[in-house]
A and B are shown apart, each in its own frame.
Chain A
Amino acid sequence: MKSGYLTKLGILVALCTAGCSSSSSGNSGTTGQLIAVKTRAEVKDDLTQAKTNALGWSITISEAYLSVGPLYYFAGDPVLSQRHMDKSSLQNALALVGDWLVKPAYAHPGHYIAGAAMGQMLTPTTLDLLAGSVNLADGDGVTGSTNSAKFTWQSPPQGEHAAALEGHVILTKGVATKGNTTIHFVAMADEPEVHDGDDKAEVAGCAFGTIPGASGVNMDGNGTVTLTLSPSVWFDEVDFAYVSPGADAGAPTPATQGVVDIAGTLAWEGFIRGVKKGTGYEFSYTK
């Protein structure tokens, strides 16, 4: 599939068309105008505090790094929570181009259709999730109703914390406790392991709205898109019992200083499923 390339091409066409139409026609409408979109990343969880996951493990994170690729914003609603959009002439033009390039997809069964491209941030970076909020590279977009977003992982990692990631797209370390059991762990994810059902290192159909988790906002001028990250979602289904001493499946041997790499265990499978959840990557726009 060439959808990454096509997405970029689509956005280029959208931005170009927007620029052409606004400059040539003097259109003063409220959609389809080029805007500057700053980008910011925030962490919802207080990682310095222990948090109990769905399986009763109290987890404290001591290190968490994330490799972030381009971010894309779309008119289409998130999967299974969709709303139909009025299309501007720009978006109709883009749709025509899109239909020519790619047959309209009626994906079964969730029917997530990204729809018109509304904006993007294209500069990969790496984040230290314990370091607090950071500004990412500036992006751009067009005015109009925006409802979903696509988060992508960058591999190999680029930017300030790339070395800390040691080639992985996610690297976390911490302590999990339940009853008398304490596990010092490292949980990592490589690029192929975070691929979605379409074999892409991305989470498509994330909510994009006025606040994190909400869907639907009119980007009506220059503004800021905030990517709100929730690492607790990554760990919600991690059952550290699978890596506890005496686990049925055979717990991995602690590597150094009693730290267990959960890779390849069912605990890690739960972690991987968690890092693919859209609720871990929420987008919001403020003017």
Chain B
Amino acid sequence: MTAKLTRILFGALIATTTVSSISACGDDNGKGTVTVTTWGESFIEDGLPSSVFPKDNWSVKYGKFLVDYHSVSIADENNSVAAKLAHSLVFDLTKKARGNPKTLFTAELEAKAWPNVSYQVGPISDDATAGDLAADTEVTLLKTDQASVHVEGTATSPTGVTKTFNWSFSPATLFQGCHGEQDGKELEGVLVTQGGNQIIELTVHGDHLFYDDLQSEEAVPRFEALADADANNDGNITLAELDQVPLYTIPLEKGTYGTGALGNVNTLGDYERTLSRTIGHYRGEGSCNSKEVSGQ
């Protein structure tokens, strides 16, 4: 709720600022501005409190949450692209923006409906550079690991046990047909208004990496099964360790880890890699249709 309120207030602030500038200029000529930003919400910036994990009461604090935006495009009803990201940008969503949000690009577009907005997370490409507040070392990290998403963090149990994780996820995902709320109405893509400045926030949901079912509406975040995967008990859970845990060996009381209709998710490692493809949202709680990208 706080995150949503923040977005609303930020949107109102932008709108107010934009209206002021329009009054000053008065020559918008049927165009408006679109600014594409990204935000990981308080879950990624501040952490996931134990209340987010209602079944086992773990908590998680991210140290890094790197996302490679490989492409972003805004197109009309005929899929004619009017604006797109020039090259890949990497962001660390744990870093809080000061003032302006972390921005991918700004474009001036004809004032009308642009119903086809899509973006792609990964694969990391040679031309990727650091986005706002990200460091070159973080771009290098993704390139070295050939990762689309990289997360680091610490999870803490209700009794004070801590587990660290440091995971690079390679799958690339296309998020297309994005739809979300604009001015209180659900719509496809973005509606550019004359002289207006629409913020398209590519929202990343940091809680998704811990849900205990890939398809169920009743899924909840849990951590216990992930903690148990620390086979050498060194306090750090690796993806290699997760790959050694068949989902059928997880006791039901630690989560169903259901895979829905998916047929190729057999271990906790497969499971986390699949979850990493679900983190992308649109304008807060809005969503897109996701597709695996292959053959890049």
Contacts and interface: CB of A to CB of B under 8 A. Distances in A.
Given A80-B277, A111-B290, A278 B261 contact: yes
Interface string B254-283: 001011111110100000001101110000
B285 A109 contact: no
B264 A107 contact: no
B291 A106 contact: no
Nearest to A198: B216
A260 B264 CA distance: 28
A104 to B, nearest CB: 9
A198 B217 contact: yes
Given A80-B262, A83-B289, A204-B260, A110 B215 contact: yes
A110 B278 contact: yes
Nearest to A277: B263
B31 interface: no
B33 interface: no
A280 B259 CA distance: 13
Contacts of B258: 196-197, 276
A261 interface: no
B274 A108 contact: no
A157 to B, nearest CB: 23
B177 A237 contact: no
A112 interface: yes
Contacts of A279: 261-264
Interface stretch (B42-50, B62-70, B159-167, B243-251): B243-251
A112 B260 CA distance: 9
Interface stretch (A14-22, A181-189, A264-272): A264-272
Contacts of B263: 233, 277-280
Nearest to A105: B217
Contact of B248 (A112, A206, A237): A237
A109 B274 CA distance: 10
B112 to A, nearest CB: 19
B278 A80 contact: yes
Interface residues of A, number: 39
B208 A108 contact: yes
Chain B contact-residue range equals 35 or more
Interface string B190-230: 00000000000000010110010111111100000000000
Given A78-B261, A80-B262, A276-B258, A197 B291 contact: no
Given A80-B290, A197-B215, A269 B264 contact: no
Given A80-B290, A106-B285, A106-B287, A237 B217 contact: no
B244 to A, nearest CB: 13
A123 interface: no
Given A109-B205, A197-B218, A204-B215, A266 B292 contact: no
Given A84-B289, A266-B248, A277-B261, A237 B214 contact: no
B219 A107 contact: yes
A242 to B, nearest CB: 10
A273 B247 contact: yes
Contacts of A128: none
B78 to A, nearest CB: 13
B35 interface: no
Interface string A106-121: 1111111000000000
A135 interface: no
Contacts of B214: 79-80, 109-110
B289 A77 contact: yes
A141 to B, nearest CB: 20
Contacts of B261: 78-79, 112, 148, 203-207, 277-279
B176 interface: yes
A82 interface: yes
A81 interface: yes
Given A110-B260, A203-B261, A206-B261, A272 B215 contact: no
Contact of A82 (B218, B248, B264, B289): B289
Contacts of B291: 80-83
Given A84-B179, A203-B260, 20 more contacts: A54-B266, A79-B214, A79-B262, A80-B277, A80-B292, A108-B278, A109-B208, A109-B214, A109-B219, A111-B290, A197-B216, A198-B218, A204-B215, A205-B260, A205-B261, A270-B248, A273-B248, A278-B263, A279-B262, A280-B263
18 contacts: A54-B266, A80-B278, A80-B291, A82-B177, A82-B290, A83-B177, A105-B217, A108-B219, A109-B219, A111-B287, A112-B260, A197-B217, A198-B216, A205-B260, A270-B248, A277-B259, A278-B263, A279-B263
The 10 A-B pairs with the shortest beta carbon distances in the complex, nearest first, are A197-B216, A278-B261, A279-B263, A84-B177, A82-B289, A205-B261, A109-B278, A197-B213, A269-B248, A197-B258
Interface of B: 176-177, 179, 188, 205, 207-208, 211, 213-219, 246-249, 256, 258-264, 266, 274-275, 277-279, 285, 287, 289-292
